Structure 1
Amino acid sequence: IARSVRFINQGNSDLSILRALSMAIDFDHCNFDMLSLSGSWARERHVVRRAIVHGTQSIESRRGASGHAENPFIALMDKDANENRGEVYGFSLVYSGNFLASVDVDQYDTSRVVMGINPFDFSWKLESGEEFITPEVVMVYSNAGIGQMSRTYHRIYRNNLMKSKYKNIERPIVINNWEATYFNFNEEKIKEIAKQGSELGMEMMVLDDGWFGKRDSDNSSLGDWFVDKAKLPNGLHSLAEAVKSYGMKFGLWFEPEMISPNSDLYRAHPDWCLHVPDRHRSLGRNQLILDYSREDVREAILKMLTDILSSADISYVKWDMNRNMSEIGSALLEKSRQQETAHRYILGVYEVMDIITDRFPNVLFESCSGGGGRFDPGILYYMPQNWTSDDTDGVERLKIQHGTSLVYPTSAMTAHVSAVPNHQTGRVTSMDFRHHVAMSGNFGYELDVSKFNDDERAYIKKQVDLYKSIRKVIQFGDLYRLESPFEGNDTSLIYVSEDKKEAVVFLYRVLSIPNAPLGRTKLMGLNPSYNYKIDDETIISGDQLLSYGINAPEELSWGDYKSSMIILRAQ
């Protein structure tokens, strides 16, 4: 069920809307646990479960975006509900700005859930004859636990929300240069990464931050969307054609909502950023936020993006947004409308995304916001996948991807293999572990492939070929979470094709256990009447795999950060 509210001013005088939530629903008891997805940058969407109590419990964002700290989703569930049993009520807001999700329990033990735009720093002047529509809340009921709720959300958002032509098309294996080079690259280095990546079977070379203006660090040039000829003397067209000649497609990073004080655009239009007159303009990552509530700003950015995307054969765009709002004001809005700025900003972002994705329907757009800081259904409408987190460490990604999967389909989650020691945690994990974690999403790489020796190159080519053979079932199959990284040392999950004839199981153990007891994992989602061949060897009935399960693989028995992948095919 989708709920929203439409306010229509049919009177003769102006109205001020101070609170515009999208839904409210009452329950006649309070015997629930509340589920939410909390975290921070590099630790997004960790699962938090708590009992609801008398009074108010809520999650929210006041930062101008849905945010790293809380995702615009909550669920109420039976006290004994788990992945596979119990009643669960899910609430997911299709919005990318400030939000509030609240549960109130009164003196009679009844519960009320409300969700919508955060009333904090919000008002909307509604003139006579005008209307205001709130964003939708998608409500899902499950009588078979959290897992059934998740699979319902996955189908709804993949089939009924995303507008992209790629929503049900297998996603390419990407090689991104960011952690390989950061800002320190030139044309030859990008060509080298692309050429060697293509030899290993990778399909898309994505050029990340640093290709424009005078962008040699994060302190300049956002808004100057023209090619840095010092790094790319022959321009984007020549680079894209070179990448294509290797048998790959070419993608590009943008951060079109931001402006650097040290940029030609800011020097020409210092009033184009969000700001309050006579107040200090606080920087985040050395940048300010463009005022997307302004039509002139939106038109200027659309022209810059259109010019760049028309200048070369660009097949993929990574759209980033690396800071949240402060000094939230607009130079063009009257005093009585200043508290409309944050919402008008989001509406402006949606308008630009809508226009640019319509102009370039063959481009695969990926959203990013300092990683997963704006991973929400509002963005997924325009862009069918999201950079799940800036944290590429395999151990951390187990929790991040598990939490994300509660609401969002695997096809929306991008996951890359990166170098070790990991750039966010310093942790050293094996190639197998990193690959198996990244394969449970839209698989790719974020490292310098030119540094690999022959054995490492052969290994990666084998893994790339393997992922291509199972990509469809992982990206579009039904996901069943078997063991949670929030509940123990082991994590496991299984992807099952719609016809239940193919499945892929991933098992992970973070820390080694000496003289460990025998482990066994019951599988889910299979057809009990089928017989399944496991890794082209043993044949076991679906009934046995569901009721008895599989023994812990030998690979998990020795050493930290171990993993195993098992492929099942019905005979």
Structure 2
Amino acid sequence: MITVNGDWFALETANTGYYLGVRGGLVENLHYGARVRVENSVPLREKTDIGYGGDVVYRAESAPLSLEHLCLELSPLQKGDYRAQSLSLVMPGGARTADFSFVCARRLEGSVPPEGMPAARGGAETLALDFSTPEGVAVTLFYTVYPDCDVITRRLCIKNGADAPVTLEKALSYQLDLPGCDYVLSTFPGAWARERHEACVPLTPGAHVFGSTTGASSAFCNPFFMLCAPDATEFNGDAYGFNLVYSGSHMGCVEVSPWGKTRVAAGIQPEGFAWTLAPGERFETPEAVLTFSRAGKNGMSANLHAFVQEHIVRGKWAKKDRPVLLNNWEATYFDFNERKLLSLAKDAAKLGAELFVLDDGWFGARDNDAKGLGDYTVNRKKLPGGLAGLAEKVHALGLLFGLWFEPEMVNADSGLFRAHPDWIVQTPGNVPATGRNQYVLDLCRAEVQDYIIANVNATLASAPIDYVKWDMNRHISDNYSPALAEQGRFSHSYILGLYRVLQSIVEQNPDALFEGCSSGGNRFDLGILCYMPQIWTSDDTDAYERQLIQAGTSYGYPPSVMGCHVSASPNHQTARTSPIESRFNVAAFGVLGYELDLGRLTPAEQKAVAAQIAYYKAHRRLFQYGRFLRLCPPFGKNKCEWMMLAPDGSEAVVGEYLRLLRPNAEKPPLRLAGLAQDALYELEVRPQVVDVRTFGSLINQILPVKVNAGGHLMHAVADRYMMPCETERYAAYGDLLMYAGIRQKQAFTGTGYNENVRLMPDFSSRVYYLRRVDAALRTNGEEGAL
């Protein structure tokens, strides 16, 4: 909660505290981290009785105080603080000096969201700190406390109270100064089909700057990042997490000063940004999210996961179980008709899926990605009965019906472009660049926003559509809009236009489940999640690569918002081959879907898929809303281990993933986490199968007769039969499972095989289900086994 105590303030959550002190016209950060008991603020204050050589004295009356040595919440500009700052502006008369001085503190009830932008909901209290310059330029810092998940949000509001215009050149959401610099910075960069891989660097003197200039939060660098103690692990040590409720170009900066302090700042990307405020006008920054945990990276992630689920995702689907879907894209691409779609839907229903999604290609002349985009007229050659006719037939199969859109884009070969060629983002005198044969519609223009709102809503009203996949398949270029007198406003104005569009469409269609998408995970951020309860994590569905993508994503976002699909093998993005069971075992730790032609699977594979879907449904609440734990570091290792634990600790699912097989490698016990030490648990491996062709000619060492491993007989058998994997079932107390771990059955070593051998070739995996039992279980002679 928030305490205002004379010249110091405390913002406290269940386990963290953010303590601020007033020093003249300045506000300094006294401590942000573990919650502490503060009798008075003196022990926490920076001592500045004698100046350092080279110091610039801030004010004569506070000599020898220099700004460089303080942990400041807002820095006066060009007054001796030479670190990166949250604001840069041009004052009336052209000067860039702005002597912000603290005015007062105000305690407000609940949250105070920025105008025109998404923000977290349900904050307990907000602290507003007001500052002003002699010219009348006012800045308010907002801090909102979320005690239940150890999160504090921050943002700025700048109001021009001067009698002449003021131009903002940088307006970040916050700056946070920490008194030391012994941290490791983790950012989550990537590219298309390789999103959010963790990149770690120990802090050194100087600035580490990262972010996006693409017009979106971007696969290049996610807005989420973290600072951890060098000895922090997944389970122990200090870990800070930072994020933005924003979907556009952004910047983060972590700077170590010459005096060993660390400044963290993030917000709207300042490159190309300029926003002039006339007298009386104001500008609000996006909301930033801060958290801290002493329980390592998993503790930090748990805070953010709870925050996303409780305060970001909203609407009908906020905490509702998400359906298992089949998307037709990789099964058909643009080549489909109603008959083919219904065949896919029938296979999906037969195997237990709950939602059929029609992807790109249903409208206009959309037979490839060079035409049709921007038109919302249904292609009657493909769908004679229109969307309504298809949706009714899909519903008759017992499935929900979903539809793909890409409303922010247009092809040159489209009715929309021919009618409104001026609606695209383009700079006068320049030929606009294309991406995926398409242009970006200018969402800075109200008439373009209105067109998208009207046409998407009309389409959704034309048929019973239960799900919407909202895509955005290219970066923004040629940044210019005739709707803007000041082009430095373009990138942020586009995002404000997008938010107006999304707000209008989501409000009009409250029952639909929306999923965000942008060339996969190119716009995976908290801003989108305020409108859409889940986001397509990546176009790359390769089981190996998805381990890295989903693990990286998990540091800042819960599995309940990650769209994860089982696709064909070899994979369409990597051409890598992986077992169908491993593809499921990875995708199950998220919102499960399938994206392949189920009818082309063998009868044995179809049976495996039906069993997968049934297993997922039986444990769906765990997979989607359990507490996610990374049991080992997911990067730089040859394995990956995940765990989803029920909130009350009564059950869990555990994923174990092998990347590349090392013959006769060491096999440490499988150790779990988060269990009650004195509780008894039953642990059982998910029943899995393996293609008999995996053995190759080794099959002749198992069978009583010799067969041609590549012959017709072998393939005929494999089409209809898959070999069961080993069974394992144990009863053990929580302390054993966490501190000693279980030693699984022997892995295949090339010298023999039977029902007690774990066949674990490259990219193999296992999933275990764990449940707490109330009484001791009888053993059958094998110690610890049931």
Q: 1:372 aligns with which of 510, 514, 521?
A: 521
Shift of 1:261: 1.1
Match of 2:651 among 495, 502, 519: 502
Amino acid at match of 1:228: N
The residue that corresponds to 1:549 in the other structure is: 741
Question: Unpaired runs of 5+ in structure 1?
Answer: none
Equivalent residue runs for 1:351-390 within 5 Å: 351-390=500-539
Tell which has more relative contact order, 1 or 2 (C-alpha 8 A, sep 6+).
1
- Alpha-carbon shift at residue 553 of structure 1 (Å): 5.2
After TM superposition, the structure 1 stretch with the greater mean CA deviation from structure 2, 414-423 or 528-537, is: 528-537
Q: 1:526-559 CA deviation, whole Å, 9 max, x = no partner? A: 1222211112943211111111112245565542
Counterparts of 1:103-118 in structure 2 under 5 Å? 103-118=254-269
Counterpart residue number, 1:445: 594
**Runs of 5+ in structure 2 lacking a partner?**
1-151, 686-728, 748-757, 774-786
Identify the residue that residue 394 of structure 1 maps to in structure 2. 543
Equivalent of residue 560 in structure 1, options 743, 753, 762: 762
2:199 to 41, 48, 69: 48
Preserved contact between residue 73 and residue 101 of structure 1 (Cα < 8 Å): no
Task: Tell me what 2:445 maps to.
Answer: 294
The CA distance in 1 between the partners of 2:743 and 2:379, in whole Å, is 55
Alignment match of 1:81 (pick from 232, 244, 250): 232
Amino acid across the alignment from 1:497: A
Task: Tell me, yes or no, if the aligned pair for 2:178 and 2:262 is still in contact at 8 Å.
Answer: yes
Question: Aligned residue for 1:71?
Answer: 222
AA at the equivalent of 1:551: R
User: Which residue of 383, 388, 392 corresponds with 1:237?
Assistant: 388
Deviation at 1:180, TM superposition (A): 0.4
Q: Distance in 1 between matches of 2:467 and 2:314?
A: 16
Mapped contact 1:58–1:100 kept (Cα < 8 A): yes
- CA shift in 2, pair 1:553/1:383, >3 Å: farther
Any idea what the Cα deviations from partners look like across 1:377-410, whole Å, max 9, x if unmatched? 1111110100000000000000000000000011
Give the counterpart letter for 1:93 in structure 2: L
C-alpha offsets along residues 284-329 of structure 1, whole Å, 9 cap, x if unaligned? 0000101111110010111100110000110000000000111100
Q: What letter corresponds to residue 763 of structure 2 in structure 1?
A: Y
CA deviation profile, 1:491-521 (whole Å, cap 9, x unmatched): 1011000010010000010111211223212
Within 1, Cα distance between the matches of 2:179 and 2:484? 44
1:519–1:552 contact (8 Å) kept in structure 2? no
Instruction: Give 3-state SS (helix, strand or coil) of 1:20's partner.
Output: strand
SS at match of 1:480: strand
Q: Report 1:259-270 matches (<5 A).
A: 259-270=410-421
> What is the CA–CA distance in structure 2 between the aligned matches of 1:20 and 1:311, rounded to whole Å?
43
Is this contact kept in 2: 1:164–1:383, CA < 8 A? no
Q: Which amino acid aligns with 2:740?
A: Y
SS at match of 1:199: helix
Cα distance, 1:338–1:500 mapped onto 2, change above 3 Å? same
Whether 1:277 and 2:428 are equivalent positions in the alignment is yes
Mapped pair 1:403 → 2:552 = yes
5 Å-filtered alignment, 1:103-142, equals 103-142=254-293
Amino acid at match of 2:362: W
The DSSP-based 3-state class of the residue aligned with 1:250 is strand
**3-state secondary structure, aligned to 1:196:** helix
CA drift of 1:445 comes to: 0.2
> Of Structure 1 and Structure 2, which has the larger fraction of its residues in helix?
1
Alignment-mate amino acid for residue 443 of structure 1: L
The one-letter amino acid of 1:147's match is N
Instruction: Measure, in 2, the Cα distance between the counterparts of 1:550 and 1:406.
Output: 26
Structure 2 matches for 1:463-502, cutoff 5 A?
Answer: 463-502=612-651
Whether the aligned pair in 2 keeps the contact of 1:531 and 1:541 (CA below 8 Å) is yes
Partner of 2:461: 310
Q: Does 1:248 align with 2:399?
A: yes
**For the residues of structure 2 that align with 1:390 and 1:426, how far apart are their CA atoms?**
14
* Conservation of the 8 A alpha-carbon contact between 2:412 and 2:439: yes
CA RMSD of superposed structures (Å):
1.1
The question of whether the paired residues in 2 share the 8 Å contact of 1:74 and 1:90 is answered with: yes
2-side partners of 1:105 and 1:485: how far apart? 28
- List 4+ stretches of structure 1 deviating above 6 A: none
Distance 1:27 1:526, change over 3 A: same
Deviation at 1:141, TM superposition (A): 0.6
Q: Distance in 1 between matches of 2:490 and 2:661?
A: 52
- For the residues of structure 2 that align with 1:523 and 1:3, how far apart are their CA atoms? 36
Q: Which residue of 2 aligns with 1:570?
A: 772
Find the aligned partners of 1:552 and 1:261 in 2 and give their Cα distance.
59
Which residue number in structure 2 is paired with residue 321 of structure 1? 472
Which residue identity lines up with residue 732 of structure 2 in the other structure? I
1:460 Cα shift?
1.0
State which structure, 1 or 2, has the greater radius of gyration over its C-alpha atoms. 2
Letter of the aligned partner of 1:371 in structure 2? G
Structure 1 letter corresponding to 2:342 = K
Contact 2:255/2:262 (CA < 8 Å) preserved in 1? yes
Is residue 523–residue 550 contact of structure 1 (8 Å, CA) maintained in 2? no
Give the counterpart letter for 2:378 in structure 1.
V
Counterpart residue type for residue 252 of structure 1: L
The alignment status of 1:205 with 2:407, answered yes or no, reads no
For the 8 Å contact 1:393–1:424, the answer to whether it is kept is yes
Specify the SS of the correspondent of 1:64: coil
Shift of 1:483: 2.1
Look up the equivalent residue of 1:434 and give its one-letter code.
R
Quick one: distance in 2 between partners of 1:40 and 1:551? 38
Distance 1:554 1:239, change over 3 A: farther
SS in structure 2 at match of 1:355: helix
| Contact 2:234–2:633 (Cα < 8 Å) also in 1 | no
2:120 matched to which residue of 1? none
Task: Judge conservation of contact 1:418–1:445 (CA < 8 Å) in 2.
Answer: yes
Q: TM-score, normalised by structure 2?
A: 0.72
Counterpart of 2:663 in structure 1 is 514
Amino acid at match of 2:169: L
Letter in 2 for 1:386: I
Q: Distance in 1 between matches of 2:242 and 2:730?
A: 43
Whole-angstrom distance in 2 between the partners of 1:535 and 1:60: 44
Relative to structure 1, the CA distance from residue 466 to residue 309 in structure 2 (aligned partners, 3 Å threshold; closer, same or farther) is: same
Figure out how many residues of one structure are paired with residues of the other and give that number.
569
